[in-house]
């Protein structure tokens, strides 16, 4: 049986490849989607990748995951640092939720050093580029097989 997994991305992630490639790399958002779906399939997951610039939409997706006990890989983007509504939605999780970041927030501006999500996530993976998503999916596979 294939397990459904949501990979949720916050603001500006759809601009991968053109947005600050020196920080976020040259891979496009389409490449990220393909990477997550392909690896997910290898791991026995049905991965659905979503991106939004709307905080309310991201909160609704987290509610959907909580209601369906769906594991989540979450890159909140800038919402990481200030969205208490998103944090509260993530806290309602009923399955593993792994926070991911392409860059290392601690190597960047001071305001990026605080994540309101980290305390309610199963884990945080950051600084490995698109590889952060691959590591998160592998970690989910490991956690869900126990």
Question: Which residues are annotated as catalytic?
Answer: 24, 101
81 annotated binding-site participant: yes
83 is in an annotated binding site: no
Is 102 known to sit in a ligand binding site? yes
Contact 100, 79 (CB under 8 A): no
The encoded tokens of residue 69 equal 């006990």
Q: Per the annotation, does 108 bind a ligand? A: no
Contact 6, 72 (CB under 8 A): yes
d(CA 93, CA 80) in angstroms, rounded, equals 16
For residues 81 and 63, the answer to whether their CB atoms sit within 8 Å is no
Sign of the alpha-carbon dihedral angle for 114, 115, 118, 120: positive
**Helix H or strand E segment including 101:** strand 97-101
103 is in an annotated binding site: yes
Residues annotated in a binding site: 75, 81, 88, 102-103, 112
Residues annotated in a binding site for substrate: 75, 81, 88, 102-103, 112
């Amino acid at each position: 049986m294939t397990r459904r997994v949501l990979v949720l991305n916050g603001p500006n992630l759809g601009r991968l490849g053109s947005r600050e490639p020196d920080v976020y790399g040259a891979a496009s958002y389409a490449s990220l989607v393909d990477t997550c779906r392909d690896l997910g399939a290898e791991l026995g997951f049905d991965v659905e990748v979503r991106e939004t610039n709307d905080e309310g939409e991201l909160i609704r997706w987290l509610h959907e995951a909580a209601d369906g006990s769906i594991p989540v890989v979450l890159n909140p983007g800038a919402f990481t640092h200030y969205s208490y509504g998103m944090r509260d939605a993530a806290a309602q999780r009923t399955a593993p939720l792994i926070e991911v970041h392409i860059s290392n927030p601690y190597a960047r501006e001071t305001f990026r050093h605080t994540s309101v999500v980290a305390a309610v996530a199963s884990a945080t993976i950051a600084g490995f580029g698109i590889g952060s998503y691959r590591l998160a999916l592998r970690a989910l596979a490991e956690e869900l097989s126990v």
